[in-house]
Amino acid sequence: MTNFADILDEAPTEVKAPPVLPAGTYVAVIQGRPEYGQSEKKGTPFIGFTFRIIQAEDDVDSDELSAMGGCENKTIKRKYWITEDSAFMLDQFHQDCGIDLKLPMSRRARSEECVNANIGIVVKHRASDDGQKVFAEVVRTLAVE
């Protein structure tokens, strides 16, 4: 694991972004506890989760994945906005983590129960607002059988 001082002591001669996780479906595990916060622009509350990639499914380009060194030790994050109109997406996430929504449990408690759950994620690419960068983002979750 690289430490912060090592990164600061480097003297790169060019700007080089790390490769972007290829688009497709992955199996992941929820790593760590949920993160709670607010968006910078509008102050919308969110709950965020970190997904540690375990394996890539057949729809992931194997050449792209190999070029970035495989998916071992790769993580990706997703935020769920906490609004009345988007709460259903958090509920779907909980269900995909294997939580029975019929149990009388708050969304906060369900979110805490997701730690270490296996889940399927669908990753797509999105361009930055200025079109200069490409980001990988989780656009959907799936139950793992």
| Mean pLDDT, range 117-143, rounded to an integer | 93
Q: What is the per-residue pLDDT across 27-72, written as a single tens digit (0 to 9) for each?
A: 999 999 999 999 998 999 999 999 999 999 999 999 999 988 898 8
What is the SS3 assignment for 9-50? Answer: HCCCCCCCCCCCCCCEEEEEEEEEEEEEEECCCCCCEEEEEE
At the top level of CATH, which class does the domain 20-142 belong to?
mainly beta
Q: What is the pLDDT of residues 70-120, one digit of tens each?
A: 988 899 999 999 999 999 999 999 999 999 999 999 999 999 999 999 999
Q: What is the pLDDT of residue 1?
A: 58
Residue 131's pLDDT band, with cuts at 50, 70 and 90, is confident
Q: Assess contact for 103 and 18: CB atoms under 8 A.
A: no
Query: What pLDDT is attached to residue 9?
Result: 83
pLDDT score recorded for residue 3: 75
The pair of three-digit structure tokens given for residue 46, joined into one six-digit string: 């969110």
